Amino acid sequence: MNKYHLKPWLPYRDTIADFLNLRPDRNMAHANFEVDISKMTAIIAERNIRVHSTLSHLAYLLWCYAQAIKQHPEMQWMKYKKQLFVFDDVDISMIFEKTSSENHKVPAPYIFRAAQNKSYDELLKELVIANNKTLDELQLRKKSSIFKALPEFMRLFILRRALRHPLKWKEALGTVAFTTLGMTIRNRRFWAIPIGPYGCMLAAGSSYSYKDESGSRNGWCLTFNFDHNLNDGGPAIRFGRTFIQLLESAEGLIGKESE
């Protein structure tokens, strides 16, 4: 005999499903890779920043992401009819886990606007503020109860119509995405594969320690996705090479270290 019990469907899951189903036309390619963050972690530790190490590391990852997109703007192209929108600003949407009034853990997005123009310290400060915000503070636009009661196909029709122009999309959702989906795993290699409606997404996986001929080192597992409809492998590889070089060299921190 089959044994089971029933639980109520939580309405906030509809919002998540609608978001994930916004762009079923995208054909995403995935790249899993590892980076040596020994130099980055050493410099941040020497600066004695009074912030949790996870946030201080994430802030530098955001800085590198923004700078790499700035150098390779094709990674955040958006197609509209027979044209491509090439944005100057890198608006990074990042997911934070917050607690709802019903005591459920729910994902809430925050957008770092024009992140390519911000220093590491500015991004760190903004990251700390966003991390400390409540769910209500992050959800500036709340959907009406009437909209929530609509069937799925109608909700998606309305959302896609409202966001079909790239400028509207950028305003509401940013241009690229970032998630810390796999960072809770420690001291083993674990890659998180992000999903979503963006043309470029970065996911932070686990961090780990290892030893080589030069001594103890720190590594980080990362994944980025890109829409193969918009870009081929060559541009994506060049973007990835720039991103890895920025992260491993810690060049965005070196100037601050010497001040």
4-26 tens-digit pLDDT = 999 999 888 999 999 999 999 99
Look at the chain and report how many structural domains it folds into: 1
Domain CATH code at residue 92:
3.30.559.10
DSSP output for 181-232 = TTTT-BSS-------SS-SEEEEEEEEEEEEETTEEEEEEEEEEEEETTT--
109 within a domain of the structure (yes/no): yes
241 within a domain of the structure (yes/no): yes
153 within a domain of the structure (yes/no): no
Model confidence at 108: pLDDT above 80:
yes
214 within a domain of the structure (yes/no): yes
Q: What percent of the chain has pLDDT over 90?
A: 75
Which residue segment(s) compose the domain that 55 sits in?
27-140+165-258
Residue 170 structure tokens? 């950028």
Taking phi first (over 0 means left), then psi (-120 to 50 degrees means alpha), and beta for anything else, what does residue 177 get?
A: beta
> What's the predicted TM-score (pTM) here?
0.92
CB-CB contact of 207 with 220 (8 Å): yes
36 within a domain of the structure (yes/no): yes
131 within a domain of the structure (yes/no): yes
22 within a domain of the structure (yes/no): no
156 within a domain of the structure (yes/no): no
